Amino acid sequence: MRLFKNKNLKVILGLCFTLFLSTRVWGDDEILRKSVVKVFTTTQNIDYYEPWKPGAQIPLQGCGTIIPGHFILTTAHLVNKGNYIEVQKFGEAKRYVAKVEQVGYDLDLALLSVDDPDFFTGTQPVVFGDLPNHGDKLLIQGGDELSIKEDSVSNMEMVLGNEGGRLMPAILTDGPIDGSNNGCPVFSGGKFVGIPFDCIGKPDKTGSIIPINVIQRFFKAIQGGRSYDGLPDLGFYTQDLENPTLRGYFKISPKQSGEIITKIFKDGSADGILNEGDVLTAIDGHPVDDEGYINLPKIGRVPECYLATFYLMGEKMSLDILRDGKPLKIQMPLKPVSQLLTDRQDARHPTYFVTAGFVFVPLTVNYFSTASWDSFKPELQDIFFHGLRSDQQKQIILISHVLPHEINKGYDKLTNVMVTKINGRPITEMKDVLEAFDHPLDGFDVMDIDDHDWFGSTIVIDANKVKQATDEINQTFKILSDRSQDLK
Amino acid sequence: MHPQLKTCFPRCFFLLILFLLCSTQSRAGDDPLQKSVVKIFTTMEEPNYYEPWRTGTQEYVSGSGCVLPGNRILTNAHVVSNAIFIEVLKEGDSQKYIAKKEFVAHDCDLAILKVDDPKFFEGTAPVTFGDLPFKRDKVAVYGFPVGGEEMSITEGVVSRIELSTYAHSMRTLMDVQTDAAINPGNSGGPVFKDKKMIGVAFQGYNGAVAQNVGFFVPIPIVKRFLKEIKTGVYRGIPTLGIWQETMENDSLRAYYGLRPDQTGVLVTEVLYQSSAWNALKVNDVLMSIDGYPIANDGTISFRKGERIGSQYPLGVHFLGDQIPFKILRDKKPMTVMVTLKEDARLVPLIQYDKQPTYFIYDGLIFTPFNSNYPGITKDTPVDLKALYFHDMPSPDHKQIILINHILSSPINRGYDSKFNNLVVTRVNGHSISDMKDLIAAFDDPQDGRHVIGIDKPKEVGTTIVLDAVKSKLASLEILEQYDIPSDRSDDLK
């Protein structure tokens, strides 16, 4: 259930892969020597439970690919939390300092630059290829020693990226890929066609590769020095239309196919544009079938959300719908995903606020890594899968735990409880928490929590003692700042 | 930290493995207490909550019991639950006698059996009742646990007396812990102190979790049960129907108007149609229950130097009894009389000896969500788990109705196994508060269609539509095809 890496799987993959080892390949050695570099980073773990603590440092090593324009393309998770990055050319001992130019967490891609122009002397940028076909042979750069493996393209799927937590297109390969998360390039016919990455939901014993068209979409987004602004999202859920009576009810003719729009996300792309109950019949002119798939030339049958991946934020997508049985063409500008739980992106500085020993954090996907899945109450597990934003709920704010002190006596066992109101003010996002504590009720700070099946529903503390208690607590627990940088 | 309806997270589930292994050492045959102890053999048939028209598989279990005055046998409810055939065997005899259930109290895990053949009771001696023991009192457990065929006696001391969860019913009642070995097969057997019966052995821990921890139903609960069945019918132990919060923080107490010398717990939720409904309110502070002052941690003083959870007095009262609460409402002290009623939670506790409720329409099997179904296990969908632990009853929400699963057929084509375990929100525009509403709503199709609302837009969708014109015939065909005797359970006929 957890969206994290399966370590055992990696070991198994490693064993399998020796089968595919082959060292002699045509001019590829030459390409690799000139266009692949080693990347060394030190990343810092993040402690979402005690977010004021700096996490442990872990050195990581992977690959980068030299692309035209003196840039190095690698995976986001390699450099995401990286404090210091170095790159090294194949066959050379000298390491050069590199820095991150752009990061696309949701695509697991990052672009590095090197200040020292000497670095690029003798290198040769890769040539971008086309999307490989089913059955095409791939050369996969694997491991630390610039070894090469062969595999072939199996099919194209939408998978959940391990780093971004978003559905994205991937090429699946026939066999697993060793060192699948180190950012090394994949070639087909001597041209660069993708980067392997870790994802969730792919079949066992297959590998997954970020395809070249997704990489090109990343470059399109950052063209002209723009900052990468993420993948847009359709912003609705749909239901299959297979039952004949159900089709009749939604006034769709037997010859047509499509999906019912059942839920429109607040503030998402479809908000104010589509209605619940509309039938989606085509996306960009491609008919949507009764199971929510479209058929694309060369790529094959992919889920309806596939095409949105290739749009830039704000670009308009053309949708054909039936509204009350009447066909309509709609141009829908695409917006970012509208989620109640924020992605694991930009995880470098988790948001927190500590007052009177109560640790307030927004519930995020990342936060679920602080404890075992089963230790989260079913309501929170349900939000993980099904939580949607509303006017009343832009974020879920938790009291993650309570740092014990006389002021919070009786509440010190609370853990992971949702806060609904503070001092009578509804809590819809983190900034509401800070504001509400400025308005105590008759000398009390009163917090309403949603935990009545376990602890209770009300927390009251003495507002006049909060400041002193917070100072004492923060000193005891060595908390340098009572809130994260983004709340200052 | 003892909410009235404290929900038992999965930790409770490994807690209670019933029935026991013996460290034997039977005493000589002249022990008169042995004449009170019997072995019970039960054939039980678990109901099938997935295909409720079918009976479940048969299981054979054995337990223990003791003879009461008046030629009755006392045992645990879980020894005879869902029983279709019961036999009893007395110590030193070889002939089994047929027994029948006379009264079963699932909430406190006790049952009374009768034996029609009077010969059975020849040579037996009914037990005499003692009183609730104290810690370190010596006790002896008699019964027929695993490890051999003959009667086993184990001895130990009383380790602890408190409220805890009865695994059979998931109710919170007083129980007594002992270090006398209590193993599978001991269930229903008597516990003696000074030759007087003081309890009925009923549960223990899995040996992998803890050793020398056995529990028995204490004599006050046994006596309450025996007193109630004198009326000829057992109706059950009342619950209060509130959620409460402990008040250990000084500011919390001050905010709700308690003086430093006053103590109590805060009412945070009152269940619809429970005992407390219309009597107690959210934000009332309960200061005493039935004459016992309630401490800030939710305990009451029970005997000298002993504390117990504040719901203890409910466990010795009867439905319909009135008990006084001293409360603080809007900072004003008052006394409220509460008439005690049965448990009113939305998702009923585990039920036994009952045919599961179901209704089949166009191949869709509808069942109310209860603790038997689909079993609150790791695999239960998280949204159902959240409902189970959190959802509250209300006038238009008396049951949670599920689509259990769908019997595939042309009329329901396209609604596949994704549609299993879905909560039904509306049918033909009518809100669905219980099974009766559901059945009635199917009599009111919309433009020749049945429109069923579900709420799982991410994985499944929001709407099921069925052809109402073809319904009647299709329903009959499906019943025939799947060999189902009736489209609904007996309680809905």
Helix %, strand %, coil % for chain B, to 5?
15, 40, 45
Record: contact B1-A457, CB cut-off 8 A: no
Matching CATH topology for B10-234 and B359-492?
no
Within this chain, do residues A374 and A436 fall inside the same structural domain, yes or no? yes
**pLDDT for position B24:** 34
Tokens of A230: 């993420």
Identify any residues that bridge with A146 across adjacent strands, giving them in sequence order. none
Least confident of A239-253, A361-375, B22-36, B103-117: B22-36
pLDDT in tens, A266-293: 999 999 999 999 999 999 999 999 999 9
In a domain, A264, yes or no: yes
In a domain, A464, yes or no: yes
Give the SS3 label for residue A379: helix
**pLDDT for position A327:** 95
Record: contact A246-B463, CB cut-off 8 A: yes
Among A233, A242, A243, A245, pick the best mutation site for testing chain B contact (most B Cβ within 10 A): A245
| CA B64 to each of CA A237, A356, A443, B27: distance values in angstroms, whole numbers, following the listed order | 57, 56, 61, 18
Within this chain, do residues A264 and A302 fall inside the same structural domain, yes or no? yes
Helix %, strand %, coil % for chain A, to 5?
20, 40, 40
In a domain, A289, yes or no: yes
pLDDT in tens, A227-236: 999 899 999 9
Q: Is the bond leading into B374 cis (omega within 30 degrees of zero)?
A: yes
Q: Does B378 touch chain A (CB under 8 A)?
A: yes
End-to-end CA distance of chain B: 43
Q: Does B467 touch chain A (CB under 8 A)?
A: yes
In a domain, A3, yes or no: no
CATH of the domain at A43: 2.40.10.10
A348 closest CA partner among A43, A8, A112: A43
pLDDT above 50 (res A13): no
Distance from CA of A440 to the nearest CA of B (A): 12
Least confident of A46-50, A117-121, A477-481, B179-183: A46-50
Long-range contacts of A367-371 (CB under 8 A, 24+ apart): A367/A48, A367/A398, A367/A400, A368/A2, A369/A2, A369/A4, A369/A48, A370/A48, A370/A49, A370/A400, A371/A49, A371/A416
B315 closest CA partner among B231, B223, B384: B223
Domain segments of chain B as ranges:
10-234, 242-339, 359-492
Within this chain, do residues A278 and A331 fall inside the same structural domain, yes or no? yes
Sign of the CA dihedral with B431 first, then B432, B437, and B440 last: positive
**pLDDT for position B436:** 94
In a domain, A330, yes or no: yes
Average pLDDT value for chain A: 85
Q: Which of A285, A311, A336 is the last residue of a domain?
A: A336
Q: Does A243 touch chain B (CB under 8 A)?
A: yes
Contacts of A462 in chain B (CB under 8 A): 250-251, 254
Sign of the CA dihedral with A92 first, then A95, A100, and A104 last: positive
Chunk chain B into consecutive blocks of 10 residues (it has 493) and report each block's average pLDDT, rounded to whole numbers.
33 37 41 92 91 88 95 96 95 92 96 95 94 96 92 95 93 95 95 96 89 94 96 96 95 96 96 96 97 96 91 94 97 97 90 92 94 68 85 90 94 91 94 94 95 93 94 92 95 93
**Alpha-carbon gap, residue A158 to B420, rounded angstroms:** 25
A169 closest CA partner among A140, A190, A199: A199
B40 closest CA partner among B93, B127, B98: B98
Within this chain, do residues A391 and A452 fall inside the same structural domain, yes or no? yes
Q: How big is chain B by its Cα radius of gyration, in Å?
A: 25
B477 contacts B409 by C-beta, under 8 angstroms: yes
Active site residues of B: 78, 109, 187
A381 contacts A330 by C-beta, under 8 angstroms: no
Q: What is the 3-state secondary structure (H, E, C) of A59-127?
A: EEEEEEEEECCCEEEECHHHHCCEEEEEEEECCCCCEEEEEEEEEEHHHCEEEEEECCHHHHCCCCCCC
**Structural domain total, chain A:** 4
What is the bridge-based pairing of β-strands B285-289 and B265-270? antiparallel
Within this chain, do residues A317 and A377 fall inside the same structural domain, yes or no? no
Long-range contacts of B424-427 (CB under 8 A, 24+ apart): B424/B366, B424/B452, B424/B453, B424/B454, B425/B453, B425/B454, B425/B455, B426/B451, B426/B452, B426/B453, B427/B451, B427/B452, B427/B453
pLDDT in tens, A314-332: 999 999 999 999 999 999 9
Within this chain, do residues A92 and A133 fall inside the same structural domain, yes or no? no
pLDDT above 50 (res A12): no
User: How does DSSP classify residue A21?
Assistant: B
Q: Which of A190, A209, A225 is the last residue of a domain?
A: A225
Within this chain, do residues A145 and A207 fall inside the same structural domain, yes or no? yes
- Looking only at Cα atoms, what is the longest distance across chain B? 80
Record: contact B296-A410, CB cut-off 8 A: yes
Within this chain, do residues A189 and A211 fall inside the same structural domain, yes or no? yes
In a domain, A344, yes or no: no
B285 contacts B264 by C-beta, under 8 angstroms: yes
Distance from CA of A252 to the nearest CA of B (A): 13
- Helices B382-390, A378-386: inter-axial angle, 10-degree rounding: 140
Tokens of A161: 């990226």
Q: Does A374 touch chain B (CB under 8 A)?
A: yes
Q: Does B486 touch chain A (CB under 8 A)?
A: no
Q: Does A410 touch chain B (CB under 8 A)?
A: yes
Report which of residues B77 and A49 the model is more confident about. B77
Record: contact B3-A458, CB cut-off 8 A: no
In a domain, A347, yes or no: no
Within this chain, do residues A362 and A315 fall inside the same structural domain, yes or no? no
Within this chain, do residues A371 and A473 fall inside the same structural domain, yes or no? yes
B399 contacts B358 by C-beta, under 8 angstroms: no
Cβ-based contacts under 8 A for chains A and B = 143
For a pLDDT cut of 90, what percent of chain A falls above it?
Answer: 51
Within this chain, do residues A220 and A240 fall inside the same structural domain, yes or no? no
In a domain, A10, yes or no: no
Other CB atoms within a 10 A radius of the CB of residue B350 amount to: 17
Range of the structural domain that residue A469 is part of:
353-487
Residue owning tokens 């199709």: B445
**pLDDT for position A14:** 34
Record: contact A240-B3, CB cut-off 8 A: no
CA torsion angle B110 B114 B118 B124 (round to 10): -10
| The domain over range B359-492 is classified in CATH as 3.20.190.20 | yes
Choices 3.60.21.10, 3.30.70.60, 2.40.10.120, 2.40.50.100: CATH for B10-234: 2.40.10.120
**pLDDT for position A346:** 57
Within this chain, do residues A188 and A297 fall inside the same structural domain, yes or no? no
Contacts of B388 in chain A (CB under 8 A): 378
CATH of the domain at A277: 2.30.42.10
Contacts of B382 in chain A (CB under 8 A): 378, 381-382, 384-385
| The domain over range B242-339 is classified in CATH as 2.30.42.10 | yes
